[in-house]
């Protein structure tokens, strides 16, 4: 079964850092673009970042650019999100998602993990 499992969330103080991980299984991870999408409590969905299969094309939402870094390790079938200078409005459930088609970012998301919760509070 195609699966994405996120980890690394937790409670962090404003200005702090956190590294999220997503482990993929049962599909050819190295051929798909991957993404992070977040959802604040009781709110809608917000795209955060995307990365191409080889990691050469990376995109960020304006709200996180310069503070978050997306990366991947194809040998480990893993996706990461390094989050620095965290703010209260970064509090959300962070989902790892897979693009529907092989290739560059810019696609619907056909597989979602269960998410990992990030809470930024003093």
Partner 1 sequence: DIVMTQSPDSLAVSLGERATISCKSSQSVLYTSNNKNYLSWYQQKLGQPPKLLLYWASLRDSGVPDRFSGSGSETNFTLTVSSLQPEDVAVYYCQQYYSTPLTFGGGTKVEIK
> Can you give the binding site for partner 1, defined by CB under 8 A?
35, 44-47, 50, 59, 61-62, 95, 100, 105-110, 112-115
C-beta of 17 vs 100, nearer to partner 1: 100
Please state, in angstroms and as integers, the Cα–Cα distance from residue 7 to each residue in 31, 37, 79, 102, 108, following that order.
22, 14, 11, 24, 23
C-beta of 4 vs 83, nearer to partner 1: 4
Strand-strand pairing, 92-102 and 32-39: antiparallel
In the complex, minimum distance from the CB of residue 73 to partner 1, in angstroms, rounded to a whole number: 23
Rounded distance between C-alpha atoms, residue 7 and residue 5, angstroms = 7
User: What do you get for the CA distance between the two ends of the chain, in Å?
Assistant: 39
In the complex, minimum distance from the CB of residue 13 to partner 1, in angstroms, rounded to a whole number: 27
Q: Give me the DSSP letters along 42-57.
A: TS-EEEEEEE-TTS--
C-beta of 87 vs 101, nearer to partner 1: 101
In the complex, minimum distance from the CB of residue 35 to partner 1, in angstroms, rounded to a whole number: 8
C-beta of 27 vs 47, nearer to partner 1: 47
């Amino acid at each position: 079964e195609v699966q994405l499992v996120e980890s690394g969330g937790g409670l962090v103080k404003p200005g702090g850092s956190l590294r999220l991980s997503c482990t993929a299984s049962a599909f050819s991870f190295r051929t798909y673009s991957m993404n992070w999408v977040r959802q604040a409590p009781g709110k809608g969905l917000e795209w955060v970042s995307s990365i191409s299969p080889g990691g050469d094309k990376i995109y960020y939402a304006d709200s996180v650019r310069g503070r978050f870094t997306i990366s991947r390790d194809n040998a480990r079938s893993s996706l990461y999100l390094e989050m620095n200078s965290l703010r209260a409005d970064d509090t959300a459930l962070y989902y790892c998602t897979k693009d529907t088609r092989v290739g560059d970012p810019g696609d619907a998301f056909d597989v979602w993990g269960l998410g990992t919760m990030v809470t930024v509070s003093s």
